[in-house]
Chains A and B, each alone.
Chain A
C-alpha cells in the first residue's frame, strides 16, 4: 500500500524536477510540496480538539503511558512517511533535504517522540546506504522502507559516546561473511526494526580505517545469537522505544557490508553532513508549537488588569523567541540547501547547525517558560504540551552528536579556513538563501570530509557594499553587518594563532569558544542571506529589514557585543507578526505555513 502511495504521490509520474525549467519548475515543485504538507496537516487534525487522539490531550496521554500515539503511527503509515526517506530514483519522494525537513516539521510540531520514533532514525540509517551502498542494497532498503518497515541506526556504545572511533562492537571476517559480537546501546526501535545499520570494528588496529558499516536484516539473523536489551526509560521522548542489541557469534553474509571495509568512519562523517543539518531543523517545529502555546496564554490571561501580552517584558520575550526561531530556521535551511549547492563545504556548516540550533531551541524554551509561569510545571490541560516539549527537545543535543563533538569537528578546520577561505572566496549562489527555489537531487557522493572554502561567510562579506541605507531599519542592518565583519576578522586572527594542540578534540576551552563564535557568525550570515534573498519577493515580512535587524542584534549580543539600540519600529513589526501568525494560524518559521485548527 505504501508503495502505491509513493507511486501516486503528488510529485506525479516521477519526471525529474530538473527537466522542467524556470518559473514553471519552481511553481510545480513548490505547489506539490505545499499540497503534501497540507494533506499531512489535515490528517493530523485540530490540535485543540480534546477528542482528537493527535491533539494536545491525546499526545499527552500517549506520553504519560510511555507509548507512541497509535493513531499517529497509523496516520504516518497511511501517509507513507517512509517514502520521504527514499530517493525518487528508488521509488520514494526524497529529492530535496529541505523538503524532507518541511514534511517532518509537521510531525515534530505535534510530537518529537513520534518524529524520532516513527521515522527519523530510519532515515539516519538509510543515508549510509544511499551514500555508499551498492545497487542491490539500495533496492532492498527501499523495499523495506516503502513497505513501512523501520531500520535502526546502531552506532552507539555507552562507554564510548561520540568517540565512536573507539567502538568495540566487532564484525570479524569469516569465510563468506562476518561474525558479530558485542552490544549496541540506546538504539531506537531495536525491538521492531526490520534491519540494523551496525557500525562495527572490522580491524583491531587503532585509527579511522578499522570500522565498517554493516546492514543486517533481522529475518536473516539467527535468533539464538542475538537479543534485544531491556528498554530504557528516558526523561523525554518517552514514547520512543529505546533499547539495545546484544550479539554473540552471530553470522551475517558478505553482502551486509555497506561500502568498503574500513570505510565506516568516513561514511559516518559524510552521513552526518546530511543528518546534522536536517534533524535540528525538523525540531524547529516543536519550538513553533511551544511559541504558539505561550502566545495563546499571553493573549488570553489577564494580569495587572491587562492581558499578559501587553506586559512589555512578556511581549519582548515572545518577540525574541520568534526571532530565535527564524535564526534557527535560516541557519538550518542554509545547512540543508548547502548539501545540494555546496556539498564540499557542508562538513563545517552541518556541525555548526547541530551545535547551535539545538542549544538555541533549548534556551528559547526556557525563555518561554518564564512567560508561562507556573503553568509550565503542569503536565495536563491546555498548556500541558509545553512541558512535554521542554523534556523532549534536549534529546536533539544529546542524540547523534553532542554539542562538544560538533565543536570538535569545526575546531581542526578553523586555521585552514582562516588562511584560505575568509575574505578570499566567492560568495554562495543566491538560491542558497531562498527556501522555495528549486534544487536538483542530493549528491550523496559529492560530500567531502574537510572543507577549505566558506561561501556562506563570503556572502556576508560581499553583501557589505551593496546594503540599502534608506530607512532607520536598513541603517541598523548595515551597522550590525559591519560588526559581524569585525567579528570575522577577529575569528581569523584568533584561528591563525591556534597552536596545533588547540586544533584537536583535546583543545583548550578557548578553542571551543572560538567554534561557538564562528557558529554564531554563520547564523548571522544565514539570516542576512535569507533577508537579501527575500527582498523584492512575495513575503512582505521576510523582505522587511525590521526582522533581520532585530535578529542580527540578538546574535551580536550573543557574541558579547553591545550594539546600539534598535530603531523603535523593529520590535513593533516583529510583535505584529507574532500576533498575525497566531490569529491566522500560520507557522512561525520561514515558510509561514497554514496550520490546522
Chain B
C-alpha cells in the first residue's frame, strides 16, 4: 500500500491528523494531491462515487482495525466530518483502556 501506515496509535489521533490521513488516502483515489482536497467540500463533488466511498470504509477498517458502517462516508460526506466521526469512534473504543 502506498500510503504509509500511521505510526500513531488510535488514541493519539486528533481530528487534524485524521483529516490529513484521509486527505492523503482520498487524493490517491482521485489522482489529486492531498492539498487539493478541501476538508469542507463533499467528497462526491470530487467525483468519489457511492461504491468507492464504501471501499474507503474498508481502508479505514484495515489501517485502524475499526469496524464502521459501510455508509459512513455517505453520512459524513466531507474529510472534516469523517475525521471528526472516526476520532470520536476511537475515543469510544480506547476510553475503557485508560
Contacts and interface: CB of A to CB of B under 8 A. Distances in A.
- Which secondary structure characterizes the binding site on chain B? helix
A596 B15 CA distance: 68
B57 interface: yes
Interface stretch (A74-82, A303-311, A334-342, A497-505): A497-505
A58 to B, nearest CB: 44
A208 B44 contact: yes
Contacts of B71: 208, 266, 449
A449 B77 contact: no
Contacts of B28: 499-501
Q: Which of A207, A411, A450, A505 has the largest count of B CB atoms less than 10 A from its CB?
A: A207
A503 B31 CA distance: 12
Interface in A278-323: none
A209 interface: yes
A483 B70 CA distance: 34
A228 to B, nearest CB: 30
Contact of B75 (A209, A409, A411, A419): A209
Contacts of A208: 44, 50, 53, 71, 74
B38 interface: no
B64 to A, nearest CB: 14
Interface string A485-522: 00000000000000111011110000000000000000
A438 B64 CA distance: 41
Given A503-B29, A504-B49, A450 B62 contact: no
Interface in A11-40: none
A205 B52 contact: no
A59 B44 CA distance: 47
Contacts of A448: 70
Interface residues of A, number: 29
B55 A412 contact: yes
Contact of B25 (A412, A419, A450, A500): A500
Q: Which of A209, A265, A409, A412 has the largest count of B CB atoms less than 10 A from its CB?
A: A412
Contacts of B43: 207
Contacts of A503: 29, 52, 55
A207 B77 contact: yes
A205 B54 contact: no
A165 interface: yes
Contacts of B92: none
Contacts of B97: none
B84 interface: no
Number of chain B interface residues as a range: 20 to 34
Q: Which of B49, B51, B70 has the largest count of A CB atoms less than 10 A from its CB?
A: B51
Q: Which of A266, A408, A413, A504 has the largest count of B CB atoms less than 10 A from its CB?
A: A504
Contacts of A269: 50-51
Nearest to B59: A500
A499 B52 CA distance: 12
A411 B29 CA distance: 13
A205 B50 contact: no
A448 B74 CA distance: 15
Interface string A136-177: 000000000000000000000000000101000000000000
A504 B86 CA distance: 22
Nearest to B26: A500
Contacts of B34: none
A413 B61 CA distance: 13
Q: Which of B45, B50, B55, B58 has the largest count of A CB atoms less than 10 A from its CB?
A: B50
A163 B50 CA distance: 10
A269 B71 CA distance: 12
A205 B51 contact: no
B66 interface: no
A573 interface: no
Given A206-B77, A408-B49, A504-B55, 14 more contacts: A165-B50, A205-B44, A207-B53, A207-B77, A208-B50, A265-B74, A449-B71, A450-B58, A450-B70, A500-B28, A500-B59, A503-B29, A505-B49, A505-B51
Which 9 A/B pairs are nearest by Cβ-Cβ distance? A207-B44, A412-B55, A206-B44, A504-B52, A500-B28, A208-B50, A208-B74, A416-B58, A500-B29
11 contacts: A165-B44, A165-B49, A165-B50, A205-B44, A208-B44, A209-B75, A408-B49, A412-B52, A449-B71, A499-B2, A501-B29
Interface of B: 2, 25, 28-31, 42-45, 47-55, 57-59, 62, 70-71, 74-75, 77
